Amino acid sequence: MGLPKGGLRVGDAPILAYLLDRWRWEGPTLLVTAPGREHPPAWERFTREVTDPVTNEGPLRGVITALRATDSDVLIVTTCDMPRVEARQLVWLEQAVLERPNAGLIMIERDEQLEPVPFAIRTDALPRLEEHFSAGGRSLHSLARFPSAVLIAAPADWPAEVWTNLNTPDDLAAFTATSHIVSRPRSP
């Protein structure tokens, strides 16, 4: 992307503020940041911020950090680079995991393709996740192979835009062109 994703802006708002307003999550919120990227704009709106203990170990490290830091039984995990995720997707995941007490992890499939984020994970999956990570697992896709993972088809009424992901400057440009609301961070 060429800059930390936490520094993106949606209109005049930091992306984290935009996402929190979009999600309207009623429970606690936990922000996981990378070492050296603590306190991105709007971090203080989260209930808590924790920093990964090691840099450059991928997204599973962030999930482990979140599971270690939470007091909740279940985490709904999403990222700051998916600006089209809405509250209804997060609430749907929460309901899906609560309806399946034996599921350690709920992931979403769309058109028979795994969409790794957002997903729901129970905190008691932490030991298995740590073993997987220690064995070299780094991909969120690899979580779908966990014995307690359940894959569920996304509801048909979810728009394809939900899966918009801002990974490159071209992704950002395409999102900007279709939404007219995202801009690069202001120069200091």
Report residue 170's pLDDT band, with 50, 70 and 90 as the boundaries. Answer: confident
| Tokens coding 49 | 């911020």
At 62, the amino acid letter reads G
Total residues found in the chain within this entry: 188
Contact 116, 107 (CB under 8 A): yes
Q: What pLDDT was estimated at residue 179?
A: 66
Tens-digit pLDDT profile for residues 156-169? 999 999 999 988 87
164: Cβ contacts below 8 Å, ≥ 6 apart = 82, 83, 84, 171, 175
3-class DSSP state of 10:
strand
Q: What is the CATH topology of the domain spanning 5-183?
A: Spore Coat Polysaccharide Biosynthesis Protein SpsA; Chain A (3.90.550)
- DSSP letter for 130, please: H
105 φ/ψ sector (left φ>0, alpha ψ -120 to 50, else beta): beta
Tens-digit pLDDT profile for residues 37-79? 999 999 999 999 999 999 889 899 999 999 999 999 999 999 9
Q: What pLDDT was estimated at residue 1?
A: 65
Domain ranges of the chain: 5-183
Compute the half-sphere exposure of residue 97: CA atoms within 13 Å on the CB side of its CA: 25
Report the percent of the chain where pLDDT is more than 90.
75
- The helix or strand, by DSSP H or E, that contains position 153, with its residue range, turns out to be strand 149-153
Distance CA 63, CA 51 (A): 11
Phi/psi at 79 (5° precision): -125, 165
This prediction has a pTM of: 0.90
Angle between the N-to-C axes of helices 87-98 and 15-23, in degrees from 0 to 180, rounded to the nearest 10: 60
Distance CA 81, CA 154 (A): 19
Tens-digit pLDDT profile for residues 130-146? 999 999 988 999 999 88
Q: Is the dihedral of CA 170, 172, 175, 176 positive or negative?
A: negative
If you search the block for the tokens 């709007």, which residue do you land on? 42
Report residue 115's pLDDT band, with 50, 70 and 90 as the boundaries. Answer: very high
Taking the CA atoms of residue 61, residue 65, residue 70 and residue 76 in that order, the dihedral angle to the nearest 10 degrees is -20
- DSSP letter for 46, please: S
